[in-house]
């Protein structure tokens, strides 16, 4: 079943709002009911707003992991309601294993992560997304936002091989030419 056929009035309204502001949504349908989705480049708070509108427009129930500070009052309830999972970035807490376990328990789960871990400039991606996708045996969805082209969506689904260099080369090729709102803050697509 095409996921877009499940859109209700909210999804149609979000799609119309995105079109009103000049955004085009691109979606390659997911091949399976479970996947980890990386979102790149993540350089602005506007990415979240446009991303949430897009999620409703495509009717794909994607949850997201975010820094735990977002989940405090007054907006914590809203971020949880939108499908957020708080991440404490100050301590190693077994978060990777908890996500692997969540994939094992679920019949259907799409979870988005910003592999840069921040909107600020970083020189590499965090490796958690890679470890989770491999350990859970789920494909990696490559979600993007491209401000110059005014496009957002999921353009590719990759099965990771475990050959980190080859997998990252494929990921880099898929994101080639995509630019964030603040291109100077885009992290290099490489692991530490």
pLDDT single digits (tens) 120-170 = 888 889 898 999 999 999 999 999 999 999 999 999 999 999 999 999 999
CA triple 132-134-139, angle to 5 deg? 95
Sheet-wide strand order for 151-158: 24-27, 151-158, 140-146, 34-40, 109-113, 62-67, 84-87
Instruction: Summarize the confidence of residues 26-41 as an average pLDDT.
Output: 96
Q: Report the pLDDT value the prediction gives residue 2, as an integer from 0 to 100.
A: 45
Residue 64 within any structural domain of the chain: yes
Residue 12 within any structural domain of the chain: no
Query: Cis link prior to 117 (omega < 30° from 0)?
Result: no
> How many structural domains are present in the chain?
1
Q: Report the pLDDT value the prediction gives residue 93, as an integer from 0 to 100.
A: 65
Report the CATH number that the domain containing residue 60 is assigned in CATH: 3.40.1130.10
Q: Report the pLDDT value the prediction gives residue 4, as an integer from 0 to 100.
A: 46
Residue 57 within any structural domain of the chain: yes
Residue 28 within any structural domain of the chain: no
Pair of tokens at residue 58: 């495509």
Residue 125 within any structural domain of the chain: yes
Instruction: Name the residue range of residue 135's domain.
Output: 36-182
Residue 23 within any structural domain of the chain: no
Question: How many helices (H) and strands (E) would you count in the chain?
Answer: 6, 7
Residue 72 within any structural domain of the chain: yes
Percentage, residues of the chain above pLDDT 90: 61
158 contact partners, CB below 8 Å, separation of at least 6 = 139, 140, 142, 167, 170, 171, 174
The H or E element containing residue 17 is: helix 9-20
Residue 20 within any structural domain of the chain: no
């Amino acid at each position: 079943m095409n996921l877009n056929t499940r859109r209700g009035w909210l999804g149609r309204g979000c799609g119309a709002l995105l079109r009103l502001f000049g955004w085009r949504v691109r979606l390659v349908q997911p091949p399976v009911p479970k996947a980890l989705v990386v979102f790149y480049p993540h350089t602005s708070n506007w990415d979240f707003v446009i991303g949430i509108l897009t999620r409703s427009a495509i009717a794909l129930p994607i949850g997201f992991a975010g820094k735990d500070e977002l989940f405090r009052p007054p907006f914590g309830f809203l971020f949880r309601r939108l499908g957020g999972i708080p991440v404490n970035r100050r301590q190693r807490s077994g978060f990777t294993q908890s996500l692997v376990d969540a994939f094992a328990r679920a019949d259907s789960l799409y979870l988005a992560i910003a592999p840069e871990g921040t909107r600020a400039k970083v020189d590499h991606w965090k490796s958690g997304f890679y470890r989770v996708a491999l350990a859970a045996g789920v494909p990696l969805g490559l979600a993007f936002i491209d401000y110059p082209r005014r496009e957002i969506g999921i353009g590719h689904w990759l099965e990771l091989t475990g050959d980190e260099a080859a997998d990252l080369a494929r990921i880099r090729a898929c994101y080639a030419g995509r630019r964030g709102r603040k291109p100077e803050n885009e992290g290099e697509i490489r692991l530490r």
